[in-house]
Amino acid sequence: MHNKSVAELSRELESGKISSVELTREYLGRLKKEDEQLNSFISITEEQALADAHAADEQRAAGKATPWTGVPFAHKDIFCTNGVATTCGSKMLANFVPPYDATVTENFRKAGAVCLGKTNMDEFAMGSSTESSHFGATTNPWGLSQGEKRVPGGSSGGSAAAVAARLVPAATATDTGGSIRQPAALCGVTGLKPTYGRVSRYGMIAFASSLDQGGPIARSAEDNALMLNVMAGFDPRDSTSIDRDVPDYTATLNEPLKGLRIGLPQEYFASNLNAAVEEQIRGAIREYEKLGATVKEVSLPHADLAIAAYYVIAPAEASANLSRFDGARYGYRCEDPKDLMDMYTRTRAEGFGAEVKRRILVGTYALSAGYFDAYYLKAQKVRRLIQQDFIDAFQEVDVLMSPTTPSPAFVQGEKSNDPVTMYLEDVFTVAINLAGIPAMSVPAGFVDGLPVGLQIIGDYFSEARLLNAAHQYQQVTDWHQREPQ
């Protein structure tokens, strides 16, 4: 059962071939046995999952099912779940149990899906390797057969590793600068970052409010479409949510690609790209040409400024968002504070990890008097130029294609002491968040036995087109079906 897609499981539940209780037990058994070596989950909600599976079977028997009724999945531990700990991978929230559901959580609950638990992540979604979690690093299931421990990418590394290892057929994730696409690429699964405002951020713990966006991780584009059907939509509780009709993302998956215009940003095929990765990506693009697409080179002139602009804007917003964690209201509080100032300073010093502290300090500095104009304001102006580059490119082409990451998964600990090298892992992904456009990563081959991801980038609200392009590619390749040993 664990090798089947969400779409296949949904059909088998519909036909009565399997029950949700059987399916849930199968996945829980795998999870408890296999996750010891991966650490992809922070919490497993076995009792609740079995109760929900039983309720799903009753719903199906009563003829009240959706495609998701009784299908197991997992939530990234950044989405609030009523009555279930939501830690954001931090000591600061290690004991936080929300009294409400995030909109994304609520949507899956209403659809009848069965949540098996919460997946591991970089602390407060700040990282590219899922090594900064208070609950320990997550290991990529690829490379284990060679006795190597490699990173799964971040910050949604737990979700990507769990899907790749077949511990769960799908998982929610979030993307602030590549946190869905980069782990999807490194773990050989499919992940989509929607247009900013397409998925509600209500109840999704904030890192950088103008960049954060929830999205799906699953094995195939079809499963991503099924997830986005549940996740997308207007939410009046989120002031950044966009009131726009949500199409059925599965409806256009099978449309032919003849005439699709693909642009290759020359800046994304530059010197910092691993040559073997580039070879795999160009091989994928040749497959698109066989499917009837045309390819041309385009330019994103300000691409080289994206990392610098992102690492001013994102920490600045993190500095503001994380100021609420001070020990006064909820979350971790230091023991026996002498006075209010002692409580604030010790709570934050003890509750946050090194990477989160680094970003808070950078962000607070960038927002401080005398530096606001020099850094934050300048970065926002650069952001506007980056956005315009994409707008101009989409006058010429329908989608852009590039590598998702400059190289395959690296060994755990390799870049932990060099933050700048770690930040450069996001060199092909951060500009998409700055512009607010959608993009996805699709498995496109292997280098030294490790997965490589093809990034497909679209114009605003073109998720259906991206999913169609990814699905058609997956009909003629089997990279997304490969399983780690």
pLDDT of 271 > 80? The answer is: no
pLDDT classification of 143: cutoffs 50, 70, 90? confident
Is 415 an annotated catalytic residue? no
Q: How far apart are CA 399 and CA 82, in angstroms?
A: 39
Mean pLDDT, residues 230-254: 97
> Has 155 been annotated as catalytic?
yes
Please provide the average confidence, as pLDDT, over all residues in the chain: 96
pLDDT(211) > 80:
yes
DSSP-based three-state secondary structure for 135: coil
Residue 404 pLDDT > 80: yes
Mean pLDDT of 168-195: 98
Q: How far apart are alpha carbons 128 and 219 in whole angstroms? A: 20
pLDDT band at 485 (very low <50, low <70, confident <90, very high): confident
| pLDDT tens string 361-383 | 999 999 998 899 999 999 999 99
pLDDT for res 283: 98
pLDDT value at 87 more than 90: yes
Annotated active-site residue in 5, 179, 200, 462: 179
C-alpha radius of gyration, the chain, whole number = 21
Which of 93-102, 116-125, 419-428 has the weakest average pLDDT? Answer: 419-428
Percent of the chain exceeding pLDDT 70 equals 100
Quick one: pLDDT band at residue 473, thresholds 50, 70, 90? Answer: very high
**Which domains are seen in the chain, by residue range?**
1-485 (3.90.1300.10)
| pLDDT recorded at residue 144 | 87
Q: Is the pLDDT of residue 68 over 80?
A: yes
For residue 272, what pLDDT is reported?
A: 83
49's tokens: 């999952």
> What's the burial of 149, exposed, middle or buried (CB within 10 Å: 0-12/13-18/19+)?
middle
**CA dist., res. 27 & res. 12, Å (int):** 15
Catalytic residue (choose from 5, 19, 20, 76): 76
Residue 275, pLDDT > 80, answer yes
Which structure tokens are listed for 484? 């780690």
Is 209 annotated as catalytic?
no
Distance of CA 259 to the CA centre of its chain: 30
Tell me, what's the pLDDT at 183? 98
**Residue 146: which pLDDT band, with cuts at 50, 70 and 90?**
confident
Q: How confident is the model at residue 435 (pLDDT cuts 50, 70, 90)?
A: very high
H or E, element range at 459: none
Q: How confident is the model at residue 385 (pLDDT cuts 50, 70, 90)?
A: very high
Position 264 pLDDT exceeds 90: yes
pTM of the model: 0.97
Is the confidence at residue 145, as pLDDT, over 80? no
Question: Given the structure tokens 């290759």, which residue do they identify?
Answer: 264
Instruction: Give the closest residue to 185 by CA, choosing from 431, 399, 409.
Output: 409
Amino acid 90 reads: S
Please answer whether residues 102 and 204 qualify as being in contact, where contact means their C-beta atoms are separated by less than 8 angstroms.
Answer: yes
Pairing of strands 190-193, 114-119: unpaired
CA 234 – CA 454 distance, rounded (Å): 29
Does residue 60 carry a pLDDT above 90?
A: yes
> Which residue, among 290, 303, 310, has the nearest Cα to 378 in the 3D structure?
310
The lowest-confidence range among 92-101, 232-241, 271-280, 474-483 is: 271-280
Compute the distance between CA of residue 122 and CA of residue 89 in angstroms, rounded to an integer. 6
Q: Which of 10, 155, 159, 241 is catalytic?
A: 155
